[in-house]
Amino acid sequence: MPQPTDSTPTFWRDRALPFVEVRAIADGRKLRYGRHAHSTFSIGAVTGGRSTYQNGNTLEQVHAGAVVIVNPGVVHACNPVADEAWAYRMFYLDVDWLARLQQAQGFGTRAGFVPFGQTLTWRADLFAGLNALYEILVNPHVDAPRKESAATRYFTALQQALNPAPHENEHAPREPNQRLARAAEFIDGNFRRTLKLEEICAAADLSPSYLIRAFREQYGMTPHAYVVNRRIEFCRAQLRRGHAIAAVAAEAGFADQAHLQRAFRQFVAATPGQYRG
């Protein structure tokens, strides 16, 4: 992976380490993210400049030295402040891999990934450790076992430092609105085709006005934005496998490659070609 030197994002991934992907940029002052969510766990180190950091309902300003943490499925966005060379390194972790690491460390009392309670830290050791991990991962002379060992060490240390695991019955997750959950499940199963709002409403047995308002409150985005977000996540997975951009656009339900290009830039702040590499 070449070191980022300008406003072009670079992506690192390795087939031998499918649980982690890294994005880096040296000058992101012209980048603008729309509100989006990932199925992965995301963590990033801000290495230069300033940016706004929205995570769920929290909005803060961060600068070099910050480590930002985004739990899977949480709507978020980071955008530069003023005309500064905002720079960062972002890591995307497979949730099942991280859940197994948590369980191996004895964190959590229920099956599956335990979300982190802290979404921003200024701890110098965690910041330095994440940057050190970046250098190891992108180094072509370091073999895959050593890279996996380094990732395991860092995320074990992160878990121990921030310890997000609740005590039993403490901070129990809010019961989801079952009708809204049905709407999300319907979208998850049908996002690759053209979806009409009335179809989603019928699947959830909700009125359009209530669905739009309540869905945004529950998931942080409108049903339409949720559809586009799911399509982008699907496209990312297909592009990582090296599939042709035009074919991916059609398979994901976009009208054409240009439509995918516009949406991809909004949600990923990169072109599909830059992402695929």
pLDDT of residue 148: 95
Q: Rounded distance, CA 233 to CA 270, Å?
A: 13
Q: Rounded distance, CA 103 to CA 96, Å?
A: 10
For 157-172, how does the pLDDT look when each residue is reduced to its tens digit (9 = 90+)?
999 899 755 544 444 4
C-beta of residue 89 within 8 angstroms of C-beta of residue 22: yes
pLDDT of residue 173: 47
pTM, whole model, 2 decimals?
0.84
Name the nearest CA neighbour of 195 among 258, 268, 254, 267: 254
Q: Rounded distance, CA 145 to CA 142, Å?
A: 9
Q: Rounded distance, CA 74 to CA 243, Å?
A: 27
pLDDT of residue 29: 82
Q: Which domains does the chain have, with CATH numbers?
A: 10-162 (2.60.120.280), 178-276 (1.10.10.60)
**Residue 53 scores a pLDDT above 70:** yes
**Residue 267 scores a pLDDT above 70:** yes
Q: Rounded distance, CA 2 to CA 10, Å?
A: 7
pLDDT of residue 3: 55
C-beta of residue 203 within 8 angstroms of C-beta of residue 183: yes
Helix axes 95-104, 144-162, angle to 10 degrees: 70
**Residue 264 scores a pLDDT above 70:** yes
> Average pLDDT of 47-75?
94
pLDDT of residue 7: 74
**Residue 130 scores a pLDDT above 90:** yes
Task: Give the CA count within 13 Å in the CB-facing half-sphere of 248.
Answer: 23
pLDDT of residue 167: 46
For 215-238, how does the pLDDT look when each residue is reduced to its tens digit (9 = 90+)?
999 999 999 999 999 999 999 999
Sign of dihedral through CA atoms 244, 245, 250, 252? positive
**Residue 1 scores a pLDDT above 70:** no
pLDDT of residue 4: 55
**Residue 178 scores a pLDDT above 70:** yes
C-beta of residue 144 within 8 angstroms of C-beta of residue 17: yes
For 28-46, how does the pLDDT look when each residue is reduced to its tens digit (9 = 90+)?
888 888 899 999 999 999 9
Provide, rounded to the nearest whole percent, the portion of the chain with pLDDT above 70: 92
Range with the poorest average pLDDT among 26-40, 105-119, 133-147, 181-195: 105-119
pLDDT of residue 28: 83
> Average pLDDT of 114-141?
96
Q: Rounded distance, CA 203 to CA 240, Å?
A: 32
Q: Rounded distance, CA 259 to CA 49, Å?
A: 31
pLDDT of residue 106: 78
pLDDT of residue 168: 43
Provide, rounded to the nearest whole percent, the portion of the chain with pLDDT above 90: 76
